[in-house]
Amino acid sequence: MENLPIRQFEDKIVETVDKNPVAVIIGETGSGKSTQLSQILRKRGYTKSGAIAVTQPRRVAAVSVARRVAQELGVQLGEEVGYAIRFEDRTSEKTCIKYLTDGVLLRESLSDPELNQYSVIILDEAHERSLNTDILLGLMKRLVKLRASNLKVLITSATLDGEKVSRFFSNCPILNVPGKLFPVEILHSSERPKNYIDASLKAAVDIHVKEPEGDVLIFMTGQDDIEKLVMKLEERIQSLEEGSCMDAIVLPLHGSLPPELQANSTFILFLQVRVFSRPPPNCRRLIVATNIAETSLTVDGVVYVIDSGYVKQRQYNPSTGMYSLDVVQISKVQANQRAGRAGRTRAGKCYRLYPSIVYHDDFLDATIPEIQRSSLAGSVLYLKSLDLPDIDILSFDLLDPPSSESLQDALKQLYLIDAIDEDGSITSLGRTMAELPLEPSLSRTLLEANECGCLSQALTVAAMLSAETTLISGRSKISEKKRKHIPSNLPDGSGWGDHIQLLQIYEQWHQTDYNVDWCKDNNLQVRGMMFVKDVRKQLAQIMQKSAKESLDVRTRKGRRESQQDYKNLRKALCAGYASQLAERMIRHNGYRTIGFKSQLVQVHPSSVLRTDEEGMLPNYVVYHELIATTRPFMRNVCAVEMPWVMPITRKLEKLNVEKLSGGFSEPEKSVRVENSDLRKENSSLPKLPDDHDSKIQAARERFLARKGIK
């Protein structure tokens, strides 16, 4: 550990920290900043007046770095050195170096806004610009003024534009610490390929045939492209002449692979190499990965990187409330991060499938931060609940402020679910909601469910939705076919929709005493279901804490839910999803969204929502998410009743965004949207005439009058 580059800068670092409340430390991969900085400051006495907090964007990083530091200091993990991540707090009163995810630090500052237990706060990996890190940066700016005498803040990152952060913190000093990366030779293509899968294939085979040993890492945009390239690579390598080159194995690497296949890829390697009956040193790995290999996973032994220059990115459009998943060009920071993956073990090469002029002229300097690509309802509610007397929430000082459009969207959502009043002040309901680690819509659902007497069911639904992506097992081609042959035994939501189905699934699992094999039989990821169980327990505890009387949060066993239970639950969901409502077209099963700029949308084909005897879907639904793929879809849909919708539409009519944002929205003050070109307008959708809404409403009333309103 003494030979890590950062150790030579020890005196300089300590001197800078002594003299300044904030400092930026730029340290490349291998500089040792994550493990050494905390130890250096501890040695120099900074833990006498409080603990040192080091935040990480990811759980695994927080755990592994803490483990490493405990080992280096020769102490038991959880004593002097510990970590805190969701569901797991391994710290004690003795802990003076604490690694935590930035989400956990945000939660801590909810109960102690001044974070008085810490003498030093280090925000690590700030260049990744996660939503939570950005909010922490804003909070730190305020905190260093408030606690000028007894708090030190360090912002550390790899390739971050240090000048920008320094300017944000009134020109604080920047220290550069060299990394331990080996040189990487960058090779650009002369032009952009027409087909980047084929170009990657050619580049990979060229390397394999011509270059000395060393693994190859290929960056693709998604699972589909990865599977295609893996197949083509295997074909080509099979056809290579025997003995003309070393053996190779091709490995896919993406998020929806079961974790046991991901984390321990050497294990698969071992199995496959045995099948090849060749000794490992003479075998090259070709790893075809998404951007998971950019930061989250490091693969040792990579010497060659092939970079397509693209990435799949999720963005939120605040005017329509719709998410889209787009393939976009990477930024310069990302391109360099990818190249750096070739220089971890020895000098490497990076093949960029684009000309250097594209890199210089077309690529953005840095990736658009998450805070400018997401819905901000949760973050705005969080900041409002902090009650910072000296801070106006809408001009809250952030490194890259979101657009005023995005802030107004957040306020509108919060108003519709009663988290803030018409002046934009947080309500007592809103305060309770902010305590829950959920999206505001689901927090609101829980509170309403508590009133409706269906809290237990709502807890289950909220927990299931929190784990949604990790629930279903990887969709391999084989299991896809199997699923069509064997009809699923899972419940169908009784026709009411996907939320009810999620409830029924969990209840069935509960009936089996949380049986692991039951999950496997039903193609549900065991880890995902265990996560749901943990989340549910945590939510129940928080609800119980904020309630005066004792709440019934138990999952009922051996008792089937009645239609009345479902009705209560649907009613609670309607209150929570007040800003995520849609109304069916009169003649067909398409919907239009209410509240946002009206969008024509459809129920996602994977939904279990059923039609009535006339083949029609419910008049009104709430949805968990709008996502534009091939078309705009509502995902996770639940039927609601018109009487529940009426108060919401009345509230929408009263809505005054100016008032909500406290006069913030004068046009000259609004922040320019830098990434507007990335947002897809749904120009393919027909334009609605101005009087469309009233026409629809009149027609609907006539229609319902004929049918007889229930």
| Contact positions vs DNA (CB under 7 A) | 57-60, 85-86, 101, 103-104, 106-107, 130-132, 221-224, 254-256, 290-292, 296-297, 311-314, 325, 378, 437-439, 466, 469, 475, 480, 604-606, 625, 627, 629-631, 633, 635
The distance of closest approach from Cβ of residue 605 to DNA in the complex, given in angstroms and rounded to an integer, is 4
Cβ proximity to DNA: between 55 and 404 the closer is 55
Residue found by looking up tokens 């008792």 in the block: 559
Beta strands (DSSP E) in 102-259 are: 118-123, 152-157, 174-177, 184-188, 215-219, 247-253
Amino acid present at 53: A
DSSP 8-state secondary structure symbol assigned to residue 662: T
Tokens of 340: 């750096």
For strand 152-157 and strand 581-584, is the pairing parallel, antiparallel, or unpaired?
A: unpaired
Cβ proximity to DNA: between 297 and 655 the closer is 297
Cβ proximity to DNA: between 128 and 565 the closer is 128
Cβ proximity to DNA: between 201 and 293 the closer is 293
The distance of closest approach from Cβ of residue 530 to DNA in the complex, given in angstroms and rounded to an integer, is 14
The distance of closest approach from Cβ of residue 647 to DNA in the complex, given in angstroms and rounded to an integer, is 26
Q: Can you tell me the distance from the alpha carbon of 65 to that of 195, in angstroms, rounded to the nearest whole number?
A: 40
Residues 6 or more apart whose Cβ sits within 8 Å of residue 453 = 568
Edge-to-edge strands, sheet with 174-177: 88-90, 81-85, 97-101, 51-56, 118-123, 152-157, 22-27, 174-177
State how far the alpha carbon of 20 is from the alpha carbons of 138, 149, 160, 172, in Å: 18, 10, 20, 7
Cβ proximity to DNA: between 565 and 625 the closer is 625
The distance of closest approach from Cβ of residue 312 to DNA in the complex, given in angstroms and rounded to an integer, is 4
Q: Can you tell me the distance from the alpha carbon of 215 to that of 229, in angstroms, rounded to the nearest whole number?
A: 16
Cβ proximity to DNA: between 371 and 398 the closer is 371
Cβ proximity to DNA: between 46 and 83 the closer is 83
The distance of closest approach from Cβ of residue 223 to DNA in the complex, given in angstroms and rounded to an integer, is 3
The distance of closest approach from Cβ of residue 368 to DNA in the complex, given in angstroms and rounded to an integer, is 12
Cβ proximity to DNA: between 23 and 289 the closer is 289
Cβ proximity to DNA: between 38 and 466 the closer is 466
Q: Which residues of 464-474 are buried (b: 16+ CB within 10 A; e: fewer)?
A: bbbbbebbebe
Taking alpha carbons only, the member of 436, 458, 672 closest to residue 553 is 458
The distance of closest approach from Cβ of residue 29 to DNA in the complex, given in angstroms and rounded to an integer, is 17
Rg of the chain over all Cα atoms, to the nearest angstrom: 27
Cβ proximity to DNA: between 215 and 625 the closer is 625
The distance of closest approach from Cβ of residue 136 to DNA in the complex, given in angstroms and rounded to an integer, is 12
Q: Can you tell me the distance from the alpha carbon of 418 to that of 424, in angstroms, rounded to the nearest whole number?
A: 10
The distance between the two most distant Cα atoms of the chain, rounded to a whole number of Å, is 83
Beta strands (DSSP E) in 532-677 are: 581-584, 591-594, 600-603, 620-628, 632-640
Cβ proximity to DNA: between 7 and 58 the closer is 58
Q: Can you tell me the distance from the alpha carbon of 431 to that of 244, in angstroms, rounded to the nearest whole number?
A: 68
Residue 493: strand, helix, or coil:
helix
Beta bridge partners of 248: 284
Q: Where are the alpha helices (DSSP H) in 169-222?
A: 196-210
For strand 348-352 and strand 600-603, is the pairing parallel, antiparallel, or unpaired?
A: unpaired
Q: Can you tell me the distance from the alpha carbon of 315 to that of 322, in angstroms, rounded to the nearest whole number?
A: 8
Tokens of 328: 């976009």
CB 675 within 8 A of CB 368: yes
The distance of closest approach from Cβ of residue 377 to DNA in the complex, given in angstroms and rounded to an integer, is 10
Q: Can you tell me the distance from the alpha carbon of 137 to that of 106, in angstroms, rounded to the nearest whole number?
A: 11
The distance of closest approach from Cβ of residue 324 to DNA in the complex, given in angstroms and rounded to an integer, is 10
Cβ proximity to DNA: between 312 and 332 the closer is 312
The distance of closest approach from Cβ of residue 569 to DNA in the complex, given in angstroms and rounded to an integer, is 20
Cβ proximity to DNA: between 86 and 147 the closer is 86
The distance of closest approach from Cβ of residue 299 to DNA in the complex, given in angstroms and rounded to an integer, is 13
The distance of closest approach from Cβ of residue 329 to DNA in the complex, given in angstroms and rounded to an integer, is 14
